[in-house]
Amino acid sequence: MDAGTAPQTPATAGRKARPHATHLELATAPGIVSPERAWEIYRHRPQPRWWGWATSGGGRAANVEEGALYQGTTAQVCGLYPFASGSGAAPRGVPIGRHMYTAEPIGLDPGEWVTSGLISNTGVWVQGQPGIGKSTIVKRLATGLSAFGFYLAIPGDVKGEYSALVDSLGGRVWRIGRGLHSLNPLDGGPLRDALRHASGVERDRLAETLRARQISLLEALIVIVRRAGMTVTERVVLGTALDAAARQASPGEPTIPDVLRGLDDPPDDLLSVSACDTPAQFRRDQRELRNSLRLLVNGAIRGLFDRESTVHADLSTPAMSLDLSALEDDDDDVIAAAMLCSWSWSAAMIDAARSSGAHRNVVQIQDELWRALRVAPGLVERSDALTRMNRHKGVVQIQVTHSLDDLEALPTEADRAKARGMAGRNNIMILGGMPAGEMDSLGNIVNVTSRESSLVSSWAAPPTWVAGGKHPGRGRYLIKSGQRIGLPVEMTLTASELQLYNTDTAWQKKKEPR
């Protein structure tokens, strides 16, 4: 800052300083002092206060006003200031990291974002390469929402990677498998208990909800074992047989063997809806349906879903997980059946809690989504009907997958279109490192700029073959919502999180005992 009158120093005493001369100019003027002394004077010159010199023309201001804030589109603003960047998000919610460019803290709470008008539904889609930290950010979000009072539900944990988190939160882990806990696909669970205590219109609504979910799940299981759809007649016969089995099992729960026995020895109402005159004719006409159910009882999934449930819901705990890791090495049809049953049971638990007045907001995680959808045609629609949760139920539904190519590998074009629609309905997308081609595919679902695509693609692999460095995509995510500029976030884990969220223990070297 230039000064109108330079302060007096021993070197300039008795001399009149020319206007706007700096200390260095005065000190180095010919015949005043040596260069060494000039530098010493300049280095120890008086410093102005932050509001300027208290001299004429010294720039002193008693008050410095704050800058004016202007808003405009990027097309307009960049014409005035070419270095404009997208704004960040208010740090309300679970702290998931800092903005990679502005360092501001970023919070994520789908429920808060809905109430504040940022989004219209609470669906979250998480996608990225294996090993870049998809489950890590999901666990961070689930842990934070649990602290906010959400109930954490993980139906169908194929790898068992969420069990440690549920245990640490004081929740309950149910391990499904042969010789372990069983899950009856027709078990209404807590929804059945709510039905017993309801009356009037509410009881009728719950009864229809339970029946629709039972039929949808049973049809999905039949599609899985036969790898094909059902005829209209088969669907009508199956619904009638299920109603008969439910009446006989009341007040308990029907099982798949109960439905099969009704088809082997059909009552009059089954003969009527199938237009058969004799039980022998019915068994002959419906042998495909009967054999499909028999595969559920005696086939590859024998012992898993053909008996009463030993799993019970407990909403007094903060979290619940249905651990399917005992089935991880089984065929995809076994995994798909287990995941669909788990999703349906969890949805029944949420409905029951809502109707009983013990409602809590829920965060529900569906990981390894693709394994349940690729087995047979029509499973996308059925799984969507079983698991779709809207914001009015207070559910944050997080769906996790590696790649849209997983969804493109579905059996039919109709399934692929429905899967893309399922991904697009999620208002929040969390994208980890992935190839450029994958980002191009995502462009058909969400608006991704070329700069955002390049950024996410740069996280896909290390730039060199030098080992020992941190993977560039580990802990980095792009949060997208609608047409907004994405939020590039880098997440740093605490010491306890590094241990709790670690999924690479099988590859870590064990320390040698001393």
Q: Tens digit of pLDDT for each residue in 401-448?
A: 888 777 777 778 888 888 887 888 888 999 999 888 888 888 778 888
pLDDT digits 0-9 by tens, 215-237: 988 988 898 888 888 899 999 99
What is residue 505's three-state secondary structure? helix
Give the C-alpha separation, 324 to 309, whole Å.
15
What amino acid is encoded at 266 in this protein?
P
Q: What residue ranges in 33-139 does DSSP mark as E strands?
A: 94-99, 105-108, 124-127
Q: What residue ranges in 148-300 does DSSP mark as E strands?
A: 151-157, 172-175
Give the C-alpha separation, 195 to 67, whole Å.
62
What's the pLDDT at 303? Answer: 76
Within 10 Å of residue 251's Cβ, how many Cβ atoms?
Answer: 6
Within 10 Å of residue 380's Cβ, how many Cβ atoms?
Answer: 24
pTM of the model: 0.75
What's the pLDDT at 388? Answer: 63
Give the C-alpha separation, 456 to 477, whole Å.
8
Cβ atoms of residues 488 and 472 within 8 Å: no
What's the pLDDT at 7? Answer: 45
| Digitized pLDDT (tens) for each residue of the chain, 514 residues in all | 444 444 444 444 444 444 444 545 544 555 556 667 766 776 676 665 556 666 676 666 666 667 777 777 767 777 776 666 555 555 678 999 999 988 888 999 998 888 888 888 899 999 988 878 888 999 999 999 999 999 999 988 998 999 999 999 999 999 998 888 888 888 877 777 777 778 888 888 888 888 888 898 898 889 888 888 889 999 999 999 999 998 888 777 899 999 999 999 999 999 999 999 999 999 999 999 999 999 888 877 777 888 888 888 887 889 999 999 998 888 888 888 888 888 888 887 887 777 666 678 899 998 887 777 777 777 787 777 666 655 567 889 998 988 877 777 777 888 888 888 788 888 899 999 988 888 888 877 888 888 898 999 889 877 666 666 677 888 899 999 888 888 999 999 888 888 888 766 555 555 444 4
Sequence-separated contacts (24+) of 199-203 with Cβ below 8 Å: 202/355
Give the C-alpha separation, 193 to 315, whole Å.
13
Q: Can you spell out the DSSP letters for 264-317?
A: HS--HHHHHHTT-SSHHHHHHHTHHHHHHHHHHHHSTTTTTSSS-------TTS
In this structure, the dihedral spanned by the alpha carbons of residues 27, 28, 33 and 35, taken in order and rounded to 10 degrees, is 120
